Amino acid sequence: MPTLTRKKQSNPRASGRPAAELIFGDLWEFDPAPETADPKLKARYDLFINNKFVPPKSGKYFDSINPANEKKIAEIAYAQAADVDAAYAAAKKAYDTVWGKMPGKERAKYIYRIARLLQDRAREFAVAETIDGGKPIKESRDFDVPMAAAHFFYHAGWADKLDYVAPGRKVAPLGVVGQVIPWNFPLLMLAWKIAPAIAMGNCVVIKPAETTSITALKLGEIFQAAGLPPGVVNIVSGFGDTGAAIMTHPTAAKVAFTGSTEVGKIIMRSIAGTEKKMTMELGGKAANIVFDDAPIDQAVEGIVNGIFFNQGHVCCAGSRLLVHEPVAEAVLTKLKTRIKMLRIGDPLDKNTDIGAINSKEQLKTIQRLVAIGVKEGATMFQPKCDLPAKGYYFRPTVFSDVTMSHQIAREEIFGPVLSVLTFRTLDEAVEKANNTAYGLSAGVWTDKGSRILKMSTELKAGVVWANTYNKFDPTSPFGGYKESGFGREGGRQGLLDYCKLV
């Protein structure tokens, strides 16, 4: 039977603690609920150039590993400079002869078709995304794939309305665009980059991350099925040298990068002095701020979603929790109780809340930074749970007694690790939230609308969520300040970064 624990308290609202708590322990265990849809994976994936799958000129391939069990999934083509040249040549020809001259309403038909085909194969792509990246299937199924399709739908709607992107001005495409995306949201980042670029009339050469190339190359199959003209989108897989060849290629009129701040700086230095346009969506160390009048239970759910969504592999993750001192103890207590309920394990199980860390290298990075947090004196909490014997897994972790001088409060960990700090006044909350090199996102939890508006103007972040977290929409621009990058993706603002005013 579950136990009923009753706690004395003089003011339940002030403390935020429940009068009683049901603890079920391991009384009931979930049966496995694996997703059984066929991801239709191939043993080998070639490059997608000029609407065809072609082997790399060097004949080199590398392995894609399933982080949940460390097994090989497929061989991925390793593109080098000659392959990148071929991709840019195909894109330039498509832009000059077909896509750049095509009326927007005709481009819209292709983009709309891509969105519908992605919807038709949603379960297949969701399973492939989970196998390749390690994220829980319920996130791939309910967020990644639907949101990717939504971006194609949204930009298909813009393609014949480009006269309204910049009122009073005419817009024109830039030409050929080079893009590099990260491993945390492979399919969604692909849609974020490709959809606005081709809606505006540009052609694309894009590289997915080396650890998560499969859904990007599978999307090539959809481009073929949609009848997209050859050369409009070219997908070349590989490592850092492949990305460097894309970013520095003389044909590129613009480059777009999503990834770490360190790599973003290298790219900016490499193309300094050229006429290339750039957008950079880089790292973050977001503050999730909870005031004493916030709906505590709702805020705890938002905190969990803010840091443990996609194992914390999110550039805008709420990795710094700033809690008003009057409710700090109550929030921390409720948060620990909630974290104990999270299920860590097989990403393909529909019951799983936290899947596998994307790679062995990223797991080592998380372990190193957590060890530093302990060494520097922060108090670590991890729930007791069994982790799978094989695969890259890490328990959800909460550090309390953290100060701004702690490395875990300053450096992006990119994992399921939360640092908890406290504040006494609104000004102190703003000062602590802005005391970072980053400026990508923030969250505010309060009952006062005036406080939300004030915080939204004073927080140096590109996105500020109010009484929610990690809410995305293709109609809403996303991007950061400071070392979180520049430029916007999504909405009318995102389209403006893929055009020139004429």
Whose tokens are 């006494």? That residue is 424
CA-nearest of 464, 457, 371 to 413 is 371
Cβ neighbour number for residue 76 with a 10 Å cutoff: 27
Name the DSSP letter for residue 275.
-
Residue 129 exposed, middle or buried by CB count within 10 Å (0-12, 13-18, 19+): buried
Measured distance CA(497)–CA(429) in Å, rounded? 33
With beta carbons less than 8 A apart as the criterion, state whether 218 and 192 touch: no
Q: Which two tokens stand for residue 113?
A: 């078709």
Please identify every residue annotated as catalytic.
Answer: 281, 315
CA-nearest of 417, 317, 311, 304 to 359 is 311
Identity of the residue numbered 80:
Q
CA-nearest of 271, 261, 343 to 31 is 343
Cβ neighbour number for residue 298 with a 10 Å cutoff: 12
Beta bridge partners of 248: none
Phi, psi of 297 (to 5 degrees): -60, -40
Cβ neighbour number for residue 44 with a 10 Å cutoff: 11
Phi, psi of 20 (to 5 degrees): -145, 155
